[in-house]
Structure 1
Amino acid sequence: MLIIAGIVLTSFILTADHHNYWGAFDDSSQYLSTPVLTIDQQLAKKLAIIFPINKNTDMQFYRNTWLREYLYPVCDWREPGCKIVCNKESTYHTLDEKTFCFSKEMKNFSDKEFFIKLDDDAFVDRDYVFELMRKHSGSKKPVYISDHTRFNDPANKDSLHEVLYGNGKFYMFNYNLVKCLDTDFKYEHRPRNEDAVFGGMVRSGCGEKNVEFVQENDDKIWHKEYKNKNKHIDLAYIKNH
């Protein structure tokens, strides 16, 4: 009997994999091999950094920072790496037109929840950005994060005068704000500060009373120069304008 039992047990073991006898039990290894995304990783998939560039922009620098995976360069003409192309030569005096260009394109990015408009002579702390994303993710309201101020423009009294807008070095906002932007916003006297024009699109399309304006933490954002501990970097060595 022992001999017969041994033969049966040996046969069972040898054929178990073939017949998947063990399938009745959970194979935990398949779960171990599938990485679980952290909250930050999930949020990261929903971030786009809108990055207007020109011939002096050092893309090598930014592509070697944490910003790399999220950069959406805004270019005048199509070239490698460009995510948004305006097909028009831009200058310092036509940056308001470039702002209309990327604002219209952002409406197509419904897979993103957060956007940052960042100047090419600015830098922002990664942990701070993800802190803001965690705090405002899922908000039902349009969210607009920056250092806001009122624009003084009596010549455009009915459109841009007294509009509340964010500092151009950095402003962050959610897709709810993008959806209500008035990208057909009109003003008579041009050119005008491009960031004030973005604020005009917000006021005209979203209504300031409907927007959650959030004050940025300037200690986490660097403009024109980066200074921290043993680092001092000129972010605007070649002046763009």
Structure 2
Amino acid sequence: MTRPRAAAERFIDGLPVAVSAQLSPIFSPLIQIRPLDVVPELAGVGALVFTSANAVAVAAENIRSRDLACHCVGPATTEAARNAGWHATQSGDNAQQLIGTLTKEKPIGPLMHLRGVHARGNVAETLSRAGVPCGEQAIYDQSLRPLNDAAVEVLAGSEPVIAPFFSPRTARQFADTANPCAPLWLIALSPAVAEPLETLPFQDMAIAGGPNSAAMGKSVEMSLKRANRVEGRPDAH
């Protein structure tokens, strides 16, 4: 698992027990979340937009009031915002769906998208062009990290390795730094995430059936079944 540790653990915990029991998770985050020394400027803002649970966690440390409503991407981000005390609504499974929902509903604004330095989708710009005024502010950075020793060791072995990727940036970091010998069963959230991985030697690469953790979990389950059948082994990393 190459996501930040908390997100990676949530993903593993969300897998069916029958699946997770056959896996030996290796946690090697390729991105580290670093809060920026900024306080969000929210004067006149009507509602917040969150596209990641990381943004919620950082914002919760810097914003005392919970009066503003939140429009969120995905169940994990929505749940994180609710747990932090905000009135949060899931407005889509990805940024494109959120933009479509908010463009149609035209919530009371202006909105403020609190995000990381590295973000995709041009949420604020696209919403503003569609008649939904939205500002944006980066409140954390996502610095790249190398694979840790445990990941390097398992990639140098002969056991099958299932590796799910949720972002193009993480996939690119893996493709640039990994030197795998193990049979790789890669899973990508989208074609854009899959593209950097195509330079790697792999046994199989699947693209999830939807832009969410549930679809990624299903892909892990299917990859595990195929890996066990091909490799003739009872479990995988």
TM-score (norm 2): 0.29
TM-score (norm 1): 0.29
Larger Rg: 1
